Each structure stands twice: as C-alpha cells, then as structure tokens.
Amino acid sequence: MSVLSRKSWHDIRRRRARSLFTIATIAFAVAGLGLFAMPSLMDQAMAERIDAVQLHDVRFVTSDLVVSDANLDLLSRIEGVRSVDARTVVATRVFVGNRREDAVLVGIRSFEDQGVDIVTVDAGGRPDGPAVLSDSQNGRSGRFSGVAGETVSLEAIDGDLHEVTVSGQGGTLVYSQLATETVVLYAPQDLANEIAGVKGVNSIELTVSDPDDAEAVAERARSVLMGIDPDVVFKDLPDVRSAGSWPGESDFDNFSTLFYVGAVLALISAMVLISNTMTTIVAEQVREIAIMKAIGGRRRQIIRSFLLTVGLLAGLGSLAGALLSIPMSNLLVGFVGREFFGIDPSWGVSMPALGVGFAIGFIGSMAAAIPALRRAARVSVRAGLDASGGLAPSGRLDSLIRRFTLPRNARIGVRNLARRRARTVGTTVQIGLAVGVAIGFLTLGITVAAVTAATWDTMSWDVLVIQRGSADLDDTAGDLLADLDGVEMVHPTLYNTLEVDGTQLESWGLPPDTQLFEPDILSGRWLEDSDSGHSVAVVGRALAATSNLSPGSTLSVRTARGDVGLEIVGIDGRLMNNGTTIYLPLATFQELLGRSDTNTYWVRSTSQSQSDIDQLAASAEDTLNGAGYPVRTEIRYVEREANLASNRILVNVLAVMGVPIVAIGMIGLVNLMTMNVIERTREIGILRCIGARATDIRRIFRWEAIAVAALGWMLAVPLGWLIGRILVWVIAEIFNFGSIAYDYPLWNLPTSLVATIALAS
C-alpha cells in the first residue's frame, strides 16, 4: 500500500465514529434510491398475478343478456380471442346484524372452470348453494370482516333478504380494487341472478392473443354480441386494457412519485453531510497538509490523498446502501401489494436501479467533497504551520456571545460552536435541510387536505340517490323524492364516462340551472338553458391543459354509441376527479347515450342536522325501493369526512417519509458532538480537575446541541416553505392542476421547533 493510501486508511480509522456515521448516512441515502426499483418490481409482481388470474383484456358491461354455452363458444372463436367468460355483477346491500353496507355481488358461472378474471380462494372453500366468498380486501376497509362461517343477509332487487354463509376469502384483481369503497362478495351465478332479478349476465370478459390488437377484437366482439341480442344495451364504453397495464397502476405511479422526491431529498441531505465531513477533515489537518507541502508534496498528491479517503467512504456507503435497498424496496412493494392490491409479490432485484443507486451515491459523494478538496489544495505552508488544528481564534462573534447573559455551561458550549465555525455551519445547514424537508412534506399533506375540503364544499347536495338496478330513474322517481318531508331541492344528474384519446373520464349530465354545484369558471362560461340538446360542454382545467382546450375548441369524445364532437364553452377550475370532469347539459348527455332517464338524483335537505339528513337518506331509499326503483344512497357529510380521513392518512404517510431525512440530519448532529467530545478530551479533564461534575460536562455539550438545532430550525423555516411549495408544484404538474392555493400553517413552526430541540437533547 502506498503512503497516500495508508494515510487515507489512517484518516478513516482515526475517527471511527465519524467514519461509521458518514458511511451509514450514504447507505441510507442510496437505500432510499432503491425506491426507484418499485415500478419494475410491482410490474413483475402484477405480471405474475395477471397471468395467474387471467386478467381481462376487454370487458363489456351490458344490460341483462342471456348467453348460452354455444354463445360463449361463438365468442371464443372470434379472431384474436384467447378465452371468454360471462358473469352477473350486481350492486346490493349486505346486512351484518343491524348494520347495512353497500356491496357488489359478483356471480360466477363455475368456480371450478373460470376462463377470465379468475377468482382465487385464499382461505376457506368455494361457495356452494346459499353461500358467498368474501374478498380478502374487505377487512382492510373495516366495512366487513368476511370471516368464514359468518352469516349475513343480502338484499335482493325486490327488497327481500337472502341469508347466506361466508364460505371463505378470495379475490381477483378487478373487483378487489373496489373493496376499499364497498363490500365485494362472490357467489354462484344462480344466487347472483336471484339477487339481481335477472335471467342472464351483464359482464362479458375476454382475453386476447395479442394485447396490441385488443381494440380490434373489442369491435368484433361487439358485433357478435349484437348478433346474439340485437336489443342489447352497452351500459358503458368497453374496458380495453392497454398492454402491460394493470388496475390501480396510475395511482401507484403517482404515489411512488412522492417517494422518489423523498429519496432525492435524502440524497441531497447526505451530500451535505459528506461535504461537512470533508470540511471538518481538512480543517483538522491543515498542519499535516502544510508539512506535506513543506517536504515536497504536490497539490495533486494532497488532493489524491483526500480523494481516496472520500472514495473509500463513498464506496463502502454506496455498496451497503445498494444491498440495503434490496430488502427495503421489496418489503415496501410487498406492503403496498398486500394492503392495496391483495397480492403477495415475490422478491426480486432490479439490477438497473441497483447500479444507478450505487453510481449516484458514489459520484454524488465524490462531488460533495470537491469544495473541501479545493480548500485543502490552497492551504499554504506558512498558514498551515501557523494554524491550530482548525480551531478558529477568538473574534467578534466570540466577543458578542460573551455579552449575552447566559448560564456558564451554556456560554461555554455556544462559544465552542463559534470557534468551530465551518463545522457548525455545515451541521446547521444539514439540520435545516432535514427539518425543512419534514416541514415541506407535512405542508404538502395539509395543502392537499385543504384543497380536497374546498372541492367538496363546492357541492351543496346532502344526499346522493343512485340507481342500483335495471329500473330507470325517471321523472316519477324525481317527483317521489321531491314530495318527501325535509326535501328542499331535487336535481336529476347523469353520471357516465366519455373516452378522450383512449382515456375514460367521468362525465356529468347536469340541468343547466343547477344550484347544487358551484363551478369556478376560469374562462368562457357555464352551461345555460339554451345549451340543452346542443353538443356543448365545460371541461375541468386539467383536461383543458392536457388536451390544449379553450372556449371555442372542439373536443372529440367516444361514447358507447360512437364518436361525437363537443364544443367547449367554458373551463372549470374545480378539481372534481382531479380536474378531468366533463360537464354536459343533461338533455345533451341523454341524447348522446340514447337514453331518456337518469341514474342519480342530488337531494338537498331543508335541515343541516346530521340526524335529519340520515333520516332523509333512509326515507329516500325506502320510498323509491317500495315504488320499484332500486336505489342506494350516499350522504355528503359522510363521504366528505371519509375522503378527508384518507387524506389524513396521506398526511401521516408524508410525515413519516420525512423521518429518514430528519434522521440523516440528526446523524450529522451526532457526528458534530462526537467530534467535539473527541477533540476536547483534554479540556474535559481540566474541567473535572477544577471541580466540574459529570452533569456540568453533559450540560455544556447539550447546550451546544440545542444551539445548533435552534440555528438549523431557523434555517428550516424558509426552507420548509420553499420545499413545500416545490412539492405542491410537482403534484400540480403531475395532475395538470395549474395553480393550487398553498397552505403553510404557522402552527407547524413551534411544533417543529419543539421536535427539533427534543431530538437534539
């Protein structure tokens, strides 16, 4: 080993605690970059699951359609079709004791012989007779435990209750996604048809040989279905799955983006620590640098020596971090897969992410040391020999501190920080960045919650009455609602989807004079009475941004009956469905879909008492169900609180994401205090000799830590505002929201100060 190599090893071993802290920090930062492996790992897990359950490539939602085995065989012989299945999907309610919950019941023709969207049995057995299989994800929402052997009642379309037994738990990718919002159950086809009051099926599902040919196969299958029953009604556009995509993929990708931002910020924090560490090493060794130059050492050799030290630290930290990223990314993917998708992913390794993480960690660490290396190269022989190991002499700052009336222990600790300025500044920056990141993430969550609450508050309906069966919600149903006690206003609304550039978007058919929704028109105008029957629409601002729309533009959309052009008359600033909603006159939407009924009524109560609203919802259900209109209801204040509760979970997740970054900042503080203790062993001994107690020594160093933490917090306040603003901008760019009102609550500041001081102490 060369002399310079031995010196580098000696520098690392001489300050082992500092070296270990630095390596650990780099390792945590590089491990955080392992989050970039999540998409490939999840894609791999989902590919395995898709193959296992034969996820559909094309799915039709139809009216009651009687299909025989011969009809299914005819569909299976369509060019490009690999397998086909048909089932009944019915919205119902499940009664658990005295409690009732909305439910989706999926009727399976044969649990032993499923061709598409196979429902697997994870626990218990297949349902036989009056029995159901509970989706494994039901328990996560807390709506229904679904324990095998439990007895519940299902409400049929005629209001009768059918008592069934839970045979076990299982699921499939498509319907398990619904379990976060409603109870999902699987039953034999006959039972589902009896509950739905139908004779056939309403869901036709196909897999194709070539996913890229799915659109063409869907058109051929549509023609065959119309040949089987010319009167068949397609309730919505066919669900054509893009090659390689899977249910919930976009939500997973958007959520992962926040993890990526956290990983990058953790890396930046780690780089600050590397720079701080190298600055400290250089400050400690100015005399050694001067001696090396005095005996003929060249700048290049000195830089090479320090560069080797950084390289060893960076290499060890990056290697440890890359290895640590494997279990961390797999555990996180496993958690997300089990909790949100009902799958148990097998472990995998993303070699590209592993290599990129190591390279970024190593190169970033080396780059962070450049400023310190430049200072080392510029140290002159005379200045280095005159230096005292990096301890700055007393100066104006030290004199200023003396003027403050502080406890003696506090004065000694704070003066020591002033005399080691480079190290103190580096640690302050690191703590400021760490706490600022935590404040920024928390602010992002609070801003999202505030925007969500504001969006809900633009709607003033209290009860949503939703079609639950095949009976049309016509004007008679609206009159029955209007005659109920406690009803102030009733508005018919038609919910459906329109396809724009291959993406299905929720669309609302509204009476132009609606008073139960308050739009925020950014340009153009809102719908007017004269628009009824005309092909006009108002679109959300995110859709307007992605499709480059403005008042006067024409938006081409696809409906279940074909393509149509809509003239855009206004841009709405509300973030309904993330700003992608299409609003049309009710009469126009009905004409486009070939129907004269609606599927939803907005109802406003004369009383805003929650108990009165609950009673009104129950009365609406009972009245319409008794009149032959099977419906279910949603209560706005309940849905609003549920949505805000999910946002609070997001806030907690974002706060937790800041913990590793804060931990890196605290590692920097521990590094600082460790170095102070090591360098001041002689001073500590002298203090003990003149009567200082162990408590006094601890107080001196505690005051140092608190002072640095307080300085870091002062830096974190503006940094937190800036980081939060950037994070909100990132979210707005991802979803094309445009500008979002930024909420930076001042109560964050004292809370973060207390937390920072507590950690420092």
Distance of CA 745 to the CA centre of its chain: 22
Tokens 């209109």 map to which residue?
A: 629
- Cα–Cα distance measured from residue 618 to residue 752, given in angstroms and rounded to the nearest whole number: 46
N-terminal to C-terminal alpha carbon distance within the chain: 43
Residue 396: how many other CB atoms lie within 10 Å: 8
Tokens 């396809």 map to which residue?
A: 499
Phi, psi for 209 (deg, rounded to 5): -70, -40
pLDDT > 70? residue 605: yes
Quote the pLDDT of residue 393.
47
Residue type, 220: R
In this structure, of 414-423, 434-443, 525-534, 688-697, the range with the lowest mean pLDDT score is: 414-423
Task: Give the global pTM.
Answer: 0.65
Candidates 119, 23, 109; CA nearest to 67 is: 109
DSSP β-bridge partners for residue 489: 604
Q: What is the pLDDT of residues 369-413, one digit of tens each?
A: 787 777 777 777 766 666 544 444 445 555 555 555 556 666 665
What is the 3-state secondary structure of 499-561? EECCEEEEEEEECCCCCCECCCEEEECCCCHHHCCCCEEEEEHHHHHHCCCCCCCEEEEEECC
DSSP β-bridge partners for residue 705: none
Candidates 596, 585, 573, 617; CA nearest to 461 is: 617
User: Using CA atoms in the order 712, 716, 718, 720, what is the torsion angle rounded to 10 degrees?
Assistant: 170
Residue type, 323: L
User: Using CA atoms in the order 533, 535, 541, 543, what is the torsion angle rounded to 10 degrees?
Assistant: 130
Residue pair 10/1 in contact by the 8 Å Cβ criterion: no
Residue pair 560/235 in contact by the 8 Å Cβ criterion: yes
The pair of structure tokens assigned to 123 is: 């626990």
Q: Please count the residues of the chain.
A: 761
Q: Which residues neighbour 521 within 8 Å (Cβ) at sequence distance 6 or greater?
A: 538, 570, 571, 572, 573
- Cα–Cα distance measured from residue 274 to residue 429, given in angstroms and rounded to the nearest whole number: 12
- Cα–Cα distance measured from residue 669 to residue 663, given in angstroms and rounded to the nearest whole number: 10
Quote the pLDDT of residue 366.
82
Summarize the confidence of residues 500-509 as an average pLDDT. 88
The pair of structure tokens assigned to 66 is: 């009687």
Q: pLDDT-based confidence at 363, cuts 50/70/90? A: confident
The pair of structure tokens assigned to 277 is: 């560490």
Alpha helix (H) residue ranges in 229-298: 249-284, 286-294
Q: What is the pLDDT of residues 29-77, one digit of tens each?
A: 788 777 788 888 888 889 888 998 999 999 999 888 999 999 999 999 9
The pair of structure tokens assigned to 20 is: 């270990």
- Cα–Cα distance measured from residue 689 to residue 684, given in angstroms and rounded to the nearest whole number: 9
